[in-house]
Structure formats: structure tokens, C-alpha cells
Amino acid sequence: MPIHVLPADLAAKIAAGEVIERPASVVKELIENALDAGAHDVRVEVRGGGQRLIRVADDGCGIPAEQAPLAFARHGTSKIESADDLFAIKTLGFRGEALPSIAAVARVTLITRAREETNGTLLKVENSQILTHQPHGAPRGTVVSVEDLFRSIPARLKFLKSPGAEAARIAELVNAYALAYPHVRFSLVNDGRLVFQTPGNARLYDVLIKVLGAETAREMIEIADENESTLSGYTSPPSIHRATRKTQYLFVNGRWIDDRALAHAVVEAYHTLLMVGRFPLFVVDLRVAPDAVDVNVHPTKAHVRFREPGEVYRVVQRAVRRALMANLSVPALGAEFGQGLEPPLPAAQPPERAPDSTTSAGEVNAMGPLPGPVSAPATANTILRPPSMPMLRVLGQIASTYIICEGPDGMYLVDQHAAHERVLYDNWAAASNRDNASQELLQPVTLNLDPTHWAIYEQEQAVLERAGFRIEPFGGQSVLLRAVPGALKHRDPRTALLEIFDATDEGGAPLREDAEARVIKTVCKSAAIKGGQVLSLEEMRALLRDLERSASPRTCPHGRPTMIQLNLAQVEREFGRRG
Ligand code: ADP
Ligand code: MG
């Protein structure tokens, strides 16, 4: 193929690919424009997960009529003039790419009226072409409507998740911006329903209530740096934690950023206070001089580069640690003001490698009573044993996690968690156990769901119900939990349900095929004895007896092994008894 210059609309689509990845990216750019325009009221409306419609209305400065078309020109921006400006950016936008990119992949309608003008303007843009530009009555501010996103790019459409999942991402984003701008009133209407609204009264705590629910917000600990100038926000006490990092918000100069190292600095402040695999919730709002941070390092501006990263991490870690210690020292330790008890802080250095994001959800180390009698009446000798499970004699436990056994051909190590998961799952599958699958709670529990969890709840209600949950809507994104699966009756119902939501959300998409089996597997995982739990000999024997009855005793329902074996021949070789 000879070299040729691509037509403008195709070039525009290619460029759009960097900035506009999914509906939430459109919402992000439009909200940022509204905030840059000085809006105090930002209304977001979404239909069909944002694919059918995204509309963002603001009461900001508006765009003068004759400049409106320029807003859709590539590199059309009112925010910077020279290269010098690039290193002291005070606005969220500056690249002049968002509107042209959106207009390359959707139909856009802009209605705007500038502060100083009496008449408004209407502009329609499609396929990067301005189709209409005419006067139009409008209140001061700007409304941008984006319809049929990616209709002209079927390949992109294929990468989108379900409308519910895309709407959840949008809701996460609106939550984040509401937290970063407590003086701005945000509202989000999803498919005609008002799902989120903040008062815009400049109080971060009031936004926190909307995002986390009053119950959790009340427990959160306020954080600030020593001079209360660089850092403000909230962080969770060690008693509140999640299986994912989703409820961790970092803002730098009002910009929502994704910075693993910085998030890690916060988590490090919990050193020895949190279980492995559990994550604190936090909102950290950093203010630094505009020239102390380079924001021009990423097309969607989600990453930034600090001039002095080590210093920033230190400030964050110290502030969080101080707040945690002040909070802890009150009742728990009985020492005077808890001073001197402070465990040493790990050195505040940016980690060389971002911590592994796939740490599994609170398996290691989690505690709780042994859920229910593990054993049915011991009738082992009358049961036809499937050939895949040898007869095992329990010798003991190591690391409070593995059961050591002697078998017909050497030594076996049984993973107590995986084994119990298998037993619970098989119990479930047995028809006789279905009837009493649900356990009524003495005290129903209210939960304020985050947008992703809400999307899962809405989509999987029926499945959750069949699994034994009884959950009712309770206004806004709250639900009332009335009953849990019987297997979970010894667990804290709130924690257990959230764990199931988190596990269900693993791929970012709520469940699709085989939803019921997946929910039940997750319930079993959540109900099973954890690693790190000391078991009595009798409990271990009972667990193995139950495992023996399974048709597939060698794997847990997720397919991981329940046991490994060191056979006698190997042992003899190791000791040099055999060649
Ligand atoms: P950038 O934000 O990087 O400047 P955009 O493509 O997002 O680029 O927007 C182009 C220009 O259009 C902005 O610089 C601004 O002048 C104007 N604009 C866009 N949205 C709004 C809005 N909601 N209110 C006022 N002006 C806006
Ligand atoms: Mg912009």
C-alpha cells in the first residue's frame, strides 16, 4: 500500500481511541470541563449505560456563541497558551482533545450561554462535522449531550460491558468527583432514576455519607498534615476494610488520580494493623504547587508525576499514621495516650514495583468461628469411598492452615480452607439441603451499596435469592438484608455479603452465564474455615470424613487442589535410602 495521509475523520477516530475508551471516559471529560468552567451544580444523566445517552449540564461560565465551534476543533482550548503554561496547570483540562474526540465517535449536541451574552447557542456535531450552529435560548451554563456512543465503531462496542456495569463505572466516577469537589452539587440520574446527589455545601463529610453510607462514614477518621495545608481527607479505622482497593480515592489538586505507589503509602501506614489481603478505605486530597507535579504524562490524565515523590509519600504516610494512632490510643491499649507503643513505620519510600493487585480477598488470616458442625454422623465404614480419596489418618496441623495426614502411600497435606469449601459446596449441591438454605437474621441489617455492588445486586437479585439471601431495596442505593444462606449463619452478615459482591465483581463485570453456581461457590468460600485457624484433632477428623464423601474430594469448587501428597518413594529418595 502506498503511503497516504489519512482522511481527517479517520484520524480523529484514531486519536479518540486514546481518550474515549468507554462511556465513563466521556462523563469524566464532560465533568472536568464543567468544573473548569467554575460550575457549582453539575448534573449527569445517563441512559443505557451511557451508550444511548450521556448528558452533563452545568451552571459554569458557558462558551461565547462565536467560539463554540472552536471547542470542537482539535487542540481547541481556552486553558493554556504557551509551553510554559504546561508546567503550572491549574485546570483539569488543557489538551483540547476531549470534545473533538467525543464528536468523532458519537453524536454531540452542545447548548451553551456565556455569562456575558444574552442569547444562547446550539451546536450539533456528528462524525466530527458541525451540522448545526444557531442561536438557542438557554440558561447560563452548558449542556452537552452525547448520543449513540461508538455506534460507528462496532469493534469498540464489543469491548463494552453490560449497561449495568458501564453505569456502575460512571457512578464510581461521579462519586469520586463529588468527593474531590464537596462545594459542588453533583447529581446522577441513571435511566430516569436519581441515584446520587450531594448537597454542595463544601463539607467533605457530607459527601462521604452519600458515598459510603452514614454508618461507615461515621467511623472514618479525619486526616490532615501537620500544617493542614497539603493534605486533608478521611481514612478508615483498622476495623473497617474491604477486599478490594475500589474505595480508595486519591486526588492531587482536584484531579482524581490512579497512583499505586501513593495508595501504597497510605496502606503502609496501617502496617501491622490490617490483615493481609484487606484494604483500608480512604479519601486523600493533596494540594501541591502546580509546578511540583507534572500532569501531562497520560492521555486521560489519570497519572501524574511528582517532582519529589518521596517527600509526598512521606507526608501522606505520616498524616495517616498519626490519625490512626490518635484514634487507636483511646481505649484499646490502656497505655497513657498510646505513646511509645507505636510500631515502627516502614521507611516511606516509593516501592520499586507497584504492589501486586491480585492479592486474594482476605483468605489468609481471616478469623471467625468454625461455621457449623462440619460433620455428619460418622458412618465412614459403610460408605462406598470414591477411589480418588485415600483413607487418611490425621497427625496434626501446620501453620494453622494445613492438616498433616498419613495415607496409604506416604504423607498428605490437606488445605483446610479448600477442603471445607468443597464439603460445603457438595452439601449445597445435595438436594436435601436446599430446603433449609436460608437463615433469617434476628436483626435485619441495612447496607449502603457502592455503585458497582448496587449494579450486581440489581442484576443478580434472583440468583442471590436462590442462594439463600433475602435482600430488599431500602431507598437510594441502600438495601435491607433479612436472611443469609444457612452456611453463612456464623459469619457477620454484612461482611459476608460484601465479600460475595466483591468476588462476583472480580472481572469488573457482574456474572453472566452460570451465575448461580458462581454465587454459591463464593458463598462456600466465604463460609469455609479460613487458613490461619487452629483446629482441634476432632474438627480435623470430621472435616476429612466429610471430604471423603465428596465425589471430587481432590479439588475445591474453584478447581484448586485440596491436598498434596509426598509419597513414600519420594521420602526414601530424599533420605538416600533408595537410588
Ligand atoms: P480542554 O478541556 O482540554 O481545553 P475540551 O475539548 O475538553 O479541551 O474543551 C475545549 C474547550 O471548550 C475548553 O477549553 C473550553 O474553553 C470549552 N468548554 C468545553 N466544555 C465547556 C463547559 N462545560 N463550559 C465552558 N466551556 C467549555
Ligand atoms: Mg476538557
Question: DSSP for 69-84?
Answer: GGGGSTT--SS--SGG
Cβ of residue 141 lying under 6 Å from some atom of ligand 1: no
477486599: which residue's cell?
Answer: 243
419 phi and psi angles, rounded to 5 deg: -65, -45
Q: Which residue has the higher pLDDT, 366 or 395?
A: 395
CB 231 within 8 A of CB 284: yes
Cβ of residue 61 lying under 6 Å from some atom of ligand 1: yes
Name the 3-class secondary structure at 246.
Answer: coil
Cβ of residue 95 lying under 6 Å from some atom of ligand 1: yes
CA 343 / ligand 1 centre spacing (Å):
49
CB atoms within 10 A of CB 131: 11
493 phi and psi angles, rounded to 5 deg: -60, -35
User: Which residue among 36, 41, 94 has the greatest number of ligand 1 atoms within 8 angstroms of its CB, and so is best to mutate?
Assistant: 36
pTM of the model: 0.67
* Residue located nearest, by CA, to atom 13 of ligand 1: 77
**Own/partner long-range contacts of 356-362 (Cβ < 8 Å, ≥24 apart):** 357/245, 357/260, 359/276, 359/277, 360/277, 361/243, 361/244, 361/277, 361/499, 361/502, 361/503, 362/243, 362/275, 362/277, 362/278, 362/499
CB 447 within 8 A of CB 498: yes
The pLDDT value recorded for residue 170 is 96
| pLDDT score of 480 more than 90 | yes
CA 283 / ligand 2 centre spacing (Å):
24
User: Which residue among 58, 77, 300 has the greatest number of ligand 1 atoms within 8 angstroms of its CB, and so is best to mutate?
Assistant: 77
Cβ of residue 34 lying under 6 Å from some atom of ligand 1: yes
Q: Which residues pair with 471 in a beta bridge?
A: 481
Which ligand 1 atom is the nearest neighbour of the CA of 141? 24
Kindly provide the b/e burial profile for residues 489-523, where b requires at least 16 CB atoms within 10 angstroms of the residue's own CB. Answer: bebebebbbbbbbbbbbeeebbbeeebebbbbbbb
* Residue located nearest, by CA, to atom 23 of ligand 1: 34
- At 506, the pLDDT band (50, 70, 90 cuts) reads low
The pLDDT value recorded for residue 54 is 98
Cβ of residue 444 lying under 6 Å from some atom of ligand 1: no
CA 99 / ligand 1 centre spacing (Å):
7
- At 418, the pLDDT band (50, 70, 90 cuts) reads very high
CA 42 / ligand 2 centre spacing (Å):
15
Tell me the DSSP string of 76-144. --SS--SGGGGGS--SS--SS-HHHHHHHHSEEEEEEE-TT-SSEEEEEEETTEEEEEEEE---SEEEE
574 phi and psi angles, rounded to 5 deg: -60, -35
Cβ of residue 94 lying under 6 Å from some atom of ligand 1: yes
Q: Which residue has the higher pLDDT, 232 or 300?
A: 232
The pLDDT value recorded for residue 434 is 55
Reported as half-sphere exposure (CB side, CA atoms, 13 A), residue 453 has a value of 25
CA 106 / ligand 2 centre spacing (Å):
16
Query: For residue 506, which of 453, 565, 443 has the smallest C-alpha distance?
Result: 453
Beta-sheet pairing, 438-448 with 402-407: unpaired
Q: 48-57, 271-280, 420-429, 519-528 — which is least confidently predicted?
A: 271-280
Beta-sheet pairing, 231-235 with 221-224: antiparallel
CB 40 within 8 A of CB 120: no
Cβ of residue 91 lying under 6 Å from some atom of ligand 1: no
CB 167 within 8 A of CB 49: yes
Cβ of residue 63 lying under 6 Å from some atom of ligand 1: yes
Reported as half-sphere exposure (CB side, CA atoms, 13 A), residue 214 has a value of 3
Dist. CA 363–CA 459, nearest whole Å: 26
| Nearest ligand, measured from the Cα of 99 | 1
Cβ of residue 60 lying under 6 Å from some atom of ligand 1: yes
Which ligand 1 atom is the nearest neighbour of the CA of 29? 7
- For 71, counting Cβ atoms within 10 Å of its Cβ (0-12 exposed, 13-18 middle, 19+ buried), the class is buried
Cell numbers representing residue 343 in the block: 510500631
Q: Which residue has the higher pLDDT, 241 or 356?
A: 241
CB 546 within 8 A of CB 416: no
CA 246 / ligand 1 centre spacing (Å):
29
Dist. CA 560–CA 271, nearest whole Å: 30
CB 479 within 8 A of CB 472: yes
Name the 3-class secondary structure at 1.
Answer: coil
3-state secondary structure 208-227: HHHHHCHHHHHHCEEEECCC
CA 275 / ligand 1 centre spacing (Å):
45
The pLDDT of 511-536, averaged and rounded, is: 78
Query: For residue 563, which of 336, 389, 369, 373 has the smallest C-alpha distance?
Result: 389
Query: For residue 57, which of 173, 186, 175 has the smallest C-alpha distance?
Result: 186
Cβ of residue 262 lying under 6 Å from some atom of ligand 1: no
| pLDDT score of 60 more than 80 | yes
Summarised one tens digit per residue, pLDDT across range 432-460 is: 455 446 888 989 999 999 888 888 888 88
Cβ of residue 59 lying under 6 Å from some atom of ligand 1: no
Summarised one tens digit per residue, pLDDT across range 322-349 is: 898 887 643 333 333 333 333 344 444 4
